[in-house]
Amino acid sequence: METFAWNPRHNRLPRPFRDRFIGPRTNNFGDLLGPLIVQGICDREDLGWHAPTRPGRLITVGSVMHVASDADVIWGSGVNPAVRAARHRFTALDVRAVRGPRTHAFLADRGQDVPAVYGDPALLLPDLFPVLARWSVTKTHALTVVPNLHDWDRLKGHPRAVSPRSGLWHVLRTIAQSERVIASSLHGVVVAEALGIQATLLGGHEKPFKYQDYYEGTGRPMPTLAATIDEALRRPAETPDLSGWNGDALYRAFPTDLWDGAASGRSLAPIGTA
């Protein structure tokens, strides 16, 4: 079974030629987190990395519900509001958890059986990869700006901006070693909050749906978007409050039954106990 990650190739050739030439991968760090997190859980739970050959894919981190097909397993994914509803062609998904209540409602309206288990799987990163918490002890950046992929050209001139395409572990370490994060990248915010780092949401290219979905999935309303970095800096920096979110529920919803040798409904150890 494939663990899906959105990572298309792209080029700048005229449209008639785009399908004939292969360009570089996008390598947006947030979209690469899904397979990393799945690997972390497999290692933690001694599941092995070889899943059974059952139909479908495991779809995790990202606003990628439109790529889902029947028999796919959904764990922590979200809806992309920029994608037309008609492109969601599934009729029978195996949903274990979703990013937040807005994705829950979208799927339920389409006849899917959706448990009320919420959260972006990237919130589990510090439990799965303790090196992130160790890095976070030593702060080397007073501020890091993490633009959404589509906001990079607008924000790349800021001296504290890190490209979301500059390498997955480079971005993770930069965030971990920051005292404060300002981000239009959803996963810039999610990773910072997972590590207890003050994070301010910056307005940008994306519609607010996915941010609302994430915050509401952790028991909070979405804060008002800052229009500029200067405005974000003027706001009081607050430590993220994730007390309204049940991380164990998301972790236990991970589909261990997809792995050879794992009993269906296997009880996972609570996060933070490994």
The per-residue pLDDT for range 141-188, each reduced to its tens digit, is: 999 999 998 898 999 999 999 999 999 999 999 999 999 999 999 999
pLDDT at 264 over 50: no
Instruction: Write down the pLDDT at residue 274.
Output: 44
Q: 6 vs 61, which has greater pLDDT?
A: 61
pLDDT at residue 25 above 60?
A: no
Q: How much is the average pLDDT of 200-222?
A: 95
Q: What is the mean pLDDT of residues 235-244?
A: 92
pLDDT score at 271: 65
pTM, 2 dp: 0.87
- What would the 3-class secondary structure string for 90-151 be? CCCCEEEEECCHHHHHHHHCCCCCCCCCECCHHHHHHHHCCHHHHHHHCCCECCEEECCHHH
The pLDDT assigned to 140 comes to: 98
- What's the CA gap between 72 and 93, in Å, rounded? 6
